[in-house]
Structure 1
Amino acid sequence: MNKFFIKKISLILMLTCVLTSLTGCLSSEERRKETGERDVYELYIACDSQEDTVTGIFMNTFADILEEKSKGRIIVNRYPNSQLGGDGEIAEAVQNGNITFVVQTTAPQVTFVPEAAIFDAPMAFRNLEVARKVLDGPLTEELKAFYEPKNLRLLGIADQGFRVMSSNKNVEQLSDLKGIKIRTMENPNHIAFWKSVGANPTPMAWSEVYIGLQQGSIDAQENPVETIVASKVYEQQDYIVETNHILHTLTLIGSPNVIDDLPEELQKCVYEAADEAKIDARAQTDERSAGRLEIVKDSGTTIIPYNETLFNDMKNSSESVWTTLENQIGKELVDLLRSEIAKAETELGMN
């Protein structure tokens, strides 16, 4: 974290403490009246990804739209590429109000909001059209209510497409997964999923994956296509298998304390900018995914396209993970996900 930023944040926090002691337990609106509105509000947004990723694009697009909508009354300082720490550290800083916004996947948020693990549900969505319909419905509204008590505000959910599998073994049916040594994140639900379909999940630091594939200590790994290409792990793999096993969500999270202290017209700008940036991020995912797959094909790595039979077999084998999620976060939330998926599939004529 750069020294200038730390000094700036410290000064802001010091001023906040002074103002709090002067204004007592006033509401956000009363506090604004007491302290007065400012001409310009300086906000902060961070992510742990590079700017040339959908995560980075989502971050910058939101910041650009927000600055434009506010007509210069909001300036958004941007910190990509882990400049202010990793995902967990940034999420905690947003929770404490030291950083205003973060763009990240839901995995690091589970520590603060256990219900975010709903997105660990495997084989949930047959395609992105279904997934996005679900994310724009009651499920996200329900999740927002779990974020607020943790001093976090869920502003919108985009995605980086599905996590898919890269492998040195051709995988076209469930039996092909038996015993395959696949690197996973240190996530108990992900590990349980791969065990349920017959694979041998091996948690490993991401920095070790390329060498692990090169040396043969693992046979496979799983990630969105963009990550697979950015890290060049496809160079060590014969196949990319479009398993579409887990949606790789990208959330925009904000600090309620900071947002609620903005004048109402600027709060409106925040919510509008979040909605518009989410739509753009999804479009970027679709556009970039096609280009990334071409890079993989040109390298000589074979693409095994989405196979509905394999998808359904993996889904049936992993029902136990859904049961585990029910025990972790409550049957009500999992049932809502199931019902919203069924509703979306019906609306799209897939049933």
Structure 2
Amino acid sequence: MFVHVFPRQCLVCGVFDVLLVVTSFHFSMPSTKYACKCDYDAIESSNFQRFITAYTSMHTPPKEMQPIDNLVRKGLMNVEEGNEEYQFIKNGFLNGMGFMGHATNVMALYKNNVAFNLTRQARWDSFKIFYKAVAIKCGGDANVRYAWYGASLDELIEIVSFGFSGCNKNHDDDDECHGVGISLFSANCSIDSAMSTVADEHGLRHVLLCKVILGKVEAVPAGSKQSQPISKQYDTGVDDVSAPRRHIIWTAFMHSHIHPDYILSFKYNYMKDQQICGPLKPQSQYVSFPNLVAGVSNHLKPSQMSLLLKSYRIYKEQKTSREQWINKVRLIVGDRLLHSVITGSSHSVQLL
């Protein structure tokens, strides 16, 4: 918050006093305070309005701050970096990024302002009503969890403003989808949601952190076309009941069982040699897998990024050989892009 002091002459009585222009870091339009009794007339004055117009035109936020300004206008509140809430969500996100944690920088966090308008307040009230209903149905525990959803910033703003829709379908190929509905990823699996993000014009990526009413869950196999609970005792689906990574909220429940809470903005960065585990291989051009992900993320579709992550997990679980995995990476990424990323890297490190 900044206060700018300007001497001014009252446009009504001619008395000289001061004009205090109070500007917020997040808003382009300043609020004003006056010392003269003729304030109302001054505000109505066309001369004063011209002054404000000129002032705001000279204080347009820089390009890199425009996303913040836009999100605030859409009813989100910036959460300051030193805030405990910010640190808690940031740490949770980075922990869930796994091997990409050290190659990820959290840039900002925005909170959904449920009091922004009556519609948004109504959706929050509706979520609480369904929370109580599912809790009664399930013997007192509605099984509410946090879950991540990755997409473009425009899509996330649309969801915060109007809720999920049938357009927010899974980004995976058909054989990777677990039923027909809204797929979100567990709080400790933020890396999966990150694979579905799209970089904006500033190079930032964005994920949505939601409260989700899970109720009683059922396992839904990959490739399933299931679109509703198999019986009335179930509420939502998961890919694995014992260790859920993906939550499936059926389309019928997408407005009642999901509440968007935060938008987190992040970007990938290339890791330095000392941050990369594994032996160096001199006189050869290689790249670490985190750097590969960062390098190809702007060129591959979300479905391809998900396949790339899946191939890495299969390899790390020793379910495939290194040669088979590298061939799979080449198939997903393409030799031309892979060569471009490797030769464009400033590091010469083995692909882990």
Relative to the length of structure 1, the TM-score reads 0.23
Please tell me whether Structure 1 or Structure 2 has the larger radius of gyration of its CA atoms.
Answer: 2
Relative to the length of structure 2, the TM-score reads 0.23
Q: Which structure features the higher share of helix residues?
A: 1
